Amino acid sequence: MRNILKRQGKRIWMYKRGFLTLLAFFTIGAAIGQESGSSQFTLKALRLPGAQGLMMLDYFAYDPTTRKLWVPAANTGSVDVIDTKTDQILRVKGFTTGEIEIKGKMRTVGPSSIAIGEKAVYVGSRADSQICTVDSRSLKNRGCVAFAPRSAGLAAAPDGLIYIAATKELWATSGAPPIGVPAADRSIQILSTTGSQLKPAGKIPLTGSAEGYAVDNLHGRFYTNLEETGQTIAVDVRKREILSTWKSCDDPSGVAVDSKRGFVFVACVDHVIVLDTGHDGRVAGSVSTGAGVDNIDYCEEDGLLYAAAAEAAQLTIARVDDAGTPSVGAIVKTTKGARSVVAGSNRTAYLIDPLGGNILTVQPK
């Protein structure tokens, strides 16, 4: 992400975790050109309520249990919950918004990150540094807890959130390393979800600011990147210990994991590399994505890797073989600024379009 903002300072930084597109693959490993790849899909824009100009969109997530898409729309102080079966949009309102300076400009921030838990969805906010618990079915806000003092600013505010099913914990990172705001507390902060409210349950010190995340629930492993050192680490979620540290790439961002085969995917600005955890994190393969790739996604069921490139305005879809070698299956034209991938159900994909204030739904014809 930092790479994009250096070149396009007027573009906003909150484009994360979004666009997954689905496809009908032809033969394994067969490359399809952009035009033929795009022709296999339909694209539908769903405008978010209150969208006017640039929407501050960041980490959003899909809940496979309810088949709802949770989109934190910072500018509006709400989380938009989209029923993917009907496109109906419900709203969880009442989140705090605030103005902060980002690269010399005042920007409106608010709810910015989502983690899907068990019958609950967790919402992090950069405006007041709180994390709230929302009932995933009634959409009622059960209450919020302070993650950090509001006065501590962006460096201490929650960035990424992820629910760890094995321990029933919420893990959180802080800061905004892609825009040059390192975490004030270089650690993974842990909150227990078992009580009526979230409660601090410890932290795991890191040697750098965490950027991107993925969890392997099968083996109890958490993966994240260290922004300053260009490394990717593996953490034992039960022992809370760093098990491995691997050199990945400069400016690493998104992370995804293949739990069954032991591959970790790391986004590296204009390509994605595959780390083989069974062979000390060696690079097993790489695939070019075009400039501006950030957060990525992987579907274990289909063995498919998804990477959306904001500058190249395209989505690369690759099949990963048993050796960890990715081969391009399709390149689908998207739109400038679209950078994050989230998988839905029934071969459907969702893309955040911050510049247009839309959610794009992509389906194979």
Residue 185 pLDDT > 70: yes
Q: Cα–Cα distance between 36 and 94 in angstroms, integer?
A: 44
Q: pTM of the full predicted structure?
A: 0.86
Residue 25 pLDDT > 60: no
Write out the two tokens for 31. 């490359």
For 34-88, the pLDDT digits (tens) are: 334 567 878 889 999 998 878 888 899 999 999 999 999 999 999 999 999 999 9
Structural domain includes residue 352: no
Give the DSSP H or E segment for 318. Answer: strand 314-320
Structural domain includes residue 360: no
Structural domain includes residue 54: yes
For 134-180, the pLDDT digits (tens) are: 999 999 999 999 999 998 888 899 999 999 999 999 999 998 877 77
Q: Cα–Cα distance between 255 and 69 in angstroms, integer?
A: 20
Residue with the two structure tokens 């890797």:
305
pLDDT average, residue stretch 238-243: 97
- 76 closest CA partner among 57, 104, 103: 57
Alpha helices in 236-327 (DSSP H): none
Write out the two tokens for 124. 């992090």
Q: Cα–Cα distance between 11 and 355 in angstroms, integer?
A: 9
Mean pLDDT across the chain: 86
Structural domain includes residue 261: yes
Structural domain includes residue 356: no
For residue 324, the domain's CATH number is: 2.130.10.10
Share of the chain above pLDDT 70, in %: 90
Boundaries of domain holding 180: 2-346
Q: What band does 16 get if pLDDT is binned at 50, 70 and 90?
A: very low
Structural domain includes residue 195: yes
Write out the two tokens for 70. 């949770």
Beta strand 199-205 with 210-216: parallel, antiparallel or unpaired? unpaired
Structural domain includes residue 62: yes
Share of the chain above pLDDT 90, in %: 61
For 246, other C-beta atoms within 10 Å of its C-beta total 19
pLDDT average, residue stretch 216-232: 96
> Quick one: pLDDT at residue 10?
33
> Quick one: pLDDT at residue 6?
37
For 83-130, the pLDDT digits (tens) are: 999 999 999 999 999 988 777 778 888 999 999 999 999 999 999 999
Buried b (16+ CB within 10 A) or exposed e, 32-52: beeeebbebbebeebebeebe
Q: What band does 32 get if pLDDT is binned at 50, 70 and 90?
A: very low
> Quick one: pLDDT at residue 285?
97
Beta strand 349-353 with 358-364: parallel, antiparallel or unpaired? antiparallel
Tally the domains of the chain: 1
pLDDT average, residue stretch 283-293: 96
Residue 26 pLDDT > 80: no
Structural domain includes residue 359: no
For 186-205, the pLDDT digits (tens) are: 999 999 999 889 999 999 99
